Amino acid sequence: MKLDSNNHSVFSMYYHLVLVVKYRRSVIDDTISDYAKNKFVSLGENYNITLVEWNHDIDHVHILFKAHPNTELSKFINAYKSASSRLIKKEFPFVRKELWKEMFWSRSFCLLTTGGSPIEVVKKYIENQGMK
């Protein structure tokens, strides 16, 4: 296993994040998924977060990412949900019509550490979660 490092430590911190569309509306297609993924990558750079794997279904996304120990995960997740919600509704009018004034994402989220699981196993799991 390859370890990441900073000035004073080495680490390997992987997380599995599941975000669900508000009211589980069926609005995520490949285009919206790619758009949301690109926003995750660009915002993640500011928080020392690196995308490892991304997959979606029509009403939720699975994200595998790695982070530094000093990353404020809840702050990043809330910033991402807020920014991506606003931008998705701006860029895709049918989503705005479907959700009107609501946020795109549900208020809640599921964040799991991958623990001692080999990353390849977690990546395979996330790959298999999309479009069932």
pLDDT tens per residue across span 60-97? 999 999 999 999 999 999 999 999 999 999 999 888 87
For residue 117, pLDDT over 90 is answered with no
pTM: 0.86
- The single residue listed with the structure tokens 């964040």 is 111
| Domain layout of the chain by residue ranges | 8-127
Whole-number pLDDT of residue 53? 95
> 8-127 belongs to which homologous superfamily?
Transposase IS200-like (3.30.70.1290)
Alpha carbons 44 and 81: distance in angstroms, whole number: 12
Alpha carbons 9 and 131: distance in angstroms, whole number: 39
pLDDT class for 1, splitting at 50, 70, 90?
A: low
The number of helices, as runs of H, and strands, as runs of E, in the chain is 4, 6
Other Cβ atoms less than 10 A from the Cβ of 122: the count is 20
